[in-house]
Amino acid sequence: MLTNKRVIYELYIDKFAHNLVGLTERLPYFSELGINTLWLLPHYPSPIIDGGYDVINYKAVRSDLGSIRDFDEFTKQAAERNIDVFIDLPLNHTSNKHPWFVEARSSKISAKRDWYLWSDDRTKFSEAKNAFPHLKHSNWIKNPKTNDYYFATFYPEQPDLNWDNPQVFDAFTDILQFWINHGVSGFRLDAVSHLIKRDKSKSVNLFETHAIVKKLRSWVDAHASNIVLLAEAGGTYNHMHEFFGDGDECQLVFNFGVSAALVADAVLPINFSTDSYASKLNEVPVGCCWALPVRNHDQLSLSLLPEIDRVEFMTRIDPHGDFSFIRNKGVSMRLASILPDEDVRKRLFTKLFSLQGAVVLYYGIETGMKNQVMATHPTDTREFVRGDFDWLLAQESIENPNSLYWHIKKLIASKQLCVLV
């Protein structure tokens, strides 16, 4: 499938259909809408500290979601409908309950010790980015069993892997092969820009990290050439673009600048910069293209907006910071909560589908789902956008020929025919 013809639908299995059996039964919904790629958010066994991105077993399905047999039946029936299945692959870190880390933290002479990053005095990587500064003061987390510290970029319960150790690379190619054997067509490489750490740097988007991604792509091309790698890498436009390499890294890379620009254009009184981003979307290697989300399971990052526009956006949409995960950096809000006017959202999607790239739809965005109502304010405000799929709202949308659902369905059909609208 041509990368720029993909329409990728992102979902949590449990939030959308309870389990894999239920998701298999819902495949007609995606076919009717015109979806040709499903991206499953983490389905692995996990303590769910970070929405499943804290993995304890990369070669299994979380028990409440089903079994490997259920997964096989799902991918089989999806393939029969010409729907590719992508899965999330958290590469940067595991859960602190993963057997690798349980062994590594138990002793300084453990065979798995060098699979993670350790320090006696916390002086290494002092300039590295702390992704969640509101949740921890330092990336170095105390390990009482060996009286030292392990490195964690994200949650304290997510120790970073040591990608300088070739055994880690080999472990992940084994994981890739496992899921390829079970019908997976693509992998979203989570937090891929953080893989390698170096002193006197922010340890983001380093040359050595790109060398790892090139090596992964080379392995994929040699073992299953039809497999797609999708990079999740933040930062500037140039930083995101670098994950295409020379066509030898990822075939798809998220463009979060477009996400922010599209929504900002709809919120602010002046057009921000969607057009400036659009003019660059063709500047990719052959066989590659941008993946263009409007919203996803994280907060809408506004870091690429000029400060004056970011402040104005936050003042209009979230003046008290109720939906900000990382203060003043973005909002954890579904699109319909940001833009209640359906006609405004229709215009936004018309613009999105006119752009060159693979469109990414977050579950429920087509039906106008809003933030879920929560009894207590969550520490992780991203939970606001991770509610259960509203099937009643979906049915109402399907029955209304003037709904956003039908507008998006027509846009998808036009995209598949290469007709710009």
User: Which pLDDT score, from 0 to 100, does residue 273 have?
Assistant: 61
Q: Could you please report the per-residue DSSP string of 92-149?
A: SB--TTSHHHHHHHH-TT-TTGGGB-EESSS-TTTTS--S-TTT-S-SEEEETTTTEE
Amino acid letter, residue 353: F
- Per-residue pLDDT, averaged over 109-123, amounts to 98
User: Alpha-carbon distance 85 to 228, whole Å?
Assistant: 10
User: Alpha-carbon distance 316 to 318, whole Å?
Assistant: 6
Q: Which residue has the tokens 């010409």?
A: 82
User: Alpha-carbon distance 120 to 198, whole Å?
Assistant: 17
User: Alpha-carbon distance 20 to 107, whole Å?
Assistant: 39
Contacts of 280 (CB under 8 A, 6+ apart): 237
Query: Three-state DSSP class for 374?
Result: coil
What's the pLDDT band for 235 if we cut at 50, 70, 90?
confident
The whole-angstrom distance between residue 104's C-alpha and the CA centroid of its chain comes to 28
249 is catalytic: no
Tokens of 84: 């590719």
337 vs 57, 69, 196, 342, 398, CA distance in Å? 35, 38, 37, 11, 20
Determine which one of 88, 232, 309, 318 is catalytic. Answer: 232
User: Which pLDDT score, from 0 to 100, does residue 269 have?
Assistant: 73
Contacts of 129 (CB under 8 A, 6+ apart): 153, 194, 202, 203, 204
23 vs 28, 243, 369, CA distance in Å? 10, 32, 19
Q: What is the pLDDT of residues 244-297, one digit of tens each?
A: 999 999 999 999 989 888 999 999 876 556 677 777 898 999 999 999 999 999
Query: Three-state DSSP class for 41?
Result: coil
Is 1 a residue whose pLDDT tops 80? no
Least confident of 98-107, 288-297, 344-353, 371-380: 371-380
Q: Which domains does the chain carry?
A: 3-91+168-416 (3.20.20.80), 100-151 (3.90.400.10)
- Per-residue pLDDT, averaged over 83-103, amounts to 99
Amino acid letter, residue 62: R
Count CA atoms closer than 13 A to 121's CA, side-chain side: 2
- Per-residue pLDDT, averaged over 361-370, amounts to 98
User: Alpha-carbon distance 234 to 50, whole Å?
Assistant: 18
What's the pLDDT band for 142 if we cut at 50, 70, 90?
very high
275 is catalytic: no
Determine which one of 10, 50, 84, 190 is catalytic. Answer: 190
305 or 242, which is more confident? 242
Q: Quick one: which H or E segment has residue 359?
A: strand 358-362
Q: CB atoms < 10 A from the CB of 174, how many?
A: 11
Tokens of 90: 């958290």
Q: What is the pLDDT of residues 147-198, one digit of tens each?
A: 999 999 999 999 999 999 999 999 999 999 999 999 999 999 999 999 999 9
Q: CB atoms < 10 A from the CB of 43, how many?
A: 22
Using the Cα atoms of residue 366, residue 367, residue 370 and residue 374 in order, give the sign of their dihedral: negative
DSSP 8-state class, residue 236: S
